[in-house]
Amino acid sequence: MAATGPIIPALEVTRTYPRTVEARDQTLVLRAMTAGDEEAMLEFARGLPAADLLFLPMDITRPEVVAEWVRSIESGRRFTVLAEDQGRLAGYGSLNRQDVEWSRHLGEIRMIVSPAYRGTGLGGILAREILEIARGSGLTKIVAQMPRDQESARGVFRKLGFNLESMLAEWVIDREGQTHDLVVMAYDVSE
């Protein structure tokens, strides 16, 4: 018997790229990530402090992981905006569509900004970009997950209108085997 029910649609992105933005006194270019960006993403990830990589749901320093990331972009399950400064990655924001049918209205936002660009407003720029993409994709709620001790990340999302949904005790384990509380914040895109 064939499965019935809705098929989870691919993300539809109507925003145009490239686009220039101002982050403090720097002009950056926002553009969509493509298969040609795998090496640049690996270089970016490998240049991040180890603490930034501890809590990512995937190890973006590994070529096979970045290749899977690109496949998920090509399939429409994910859309990633890269921020570049003179051709060098300064950060990224990614919108991930849920693969589970009962949560097909949800998207998850993931972001990392290079330490050299923190405090410039780039995190907020990338987050707002992802929220605009989510609005145009028919998603109704965007979720951000982070360890409780990432206070600056929580502050960025709070300023954007994300609200605390839950805190799960010892839900995350880092690469050193230490557990951390997980904070789940959400933004209602439909409002």
Q: What is the dihedral of CA 50, 88, 40, 37, to 10 degrees?
A: 130
Predicted confidence (pLDDT) per residue in 109-160, tens digit: 999 999 999 989 999 999 999 999 998 888 889 999 988 988 888 888 999 9
Q: How confident is the model at residue 8 (pLDDT cuts 50, 70, 90)?
A: low
Q: What DSSP assignment string belongs to 154-180?
A: HHHHHHTT-EEEEEEEEEEE-TTS-EE
Kindly state whether residue 182 falls inside one of the protein's structural domains.
no
Kindly state whether residue 187 falls inside one of the protein's structural domains.
no
Q: In angstroms, rounded to a whole number, what is the distance separating the alpha carbons of residues 39 and 77?
A: 21
Kindly state whether residue 107 falls inside one of the protein's structural domains.
yes
Kindly state whether residue 161 falls inside one of the protein's structural domains.
no
Kindly state whether residue 158 falls inside one of the protein's structural domains.
no
Total domains present in the chain? 1
Domain of 54 in residue numbering reads as 19-144
Kindly state whether residue 31 falls inside one of the protein's structural domains.
yes
Predicted confidence (pLDDT) per residue in 22-44, tens digit: 998 899 999 999 999 999 999 99
**CATH for 107:** 3.40.630.30
Kindly state whether residue 191 falls inside one of the protein's structural domains.
no
**pTM of this prediction?**
0.88
Which has more confidence, 82 or 11?
82
- pLDDT of 153 reads 83
Kindly state whether residue 41 falls inside one of the protein's structural domains.
yes
Q: In angstroms, rounded to a whole number, what is the distance separating the alpha carbons of residues 134 and 147?
A: 23
Closest by CA position to 52, among listed 117, 115, 102, 142: 115
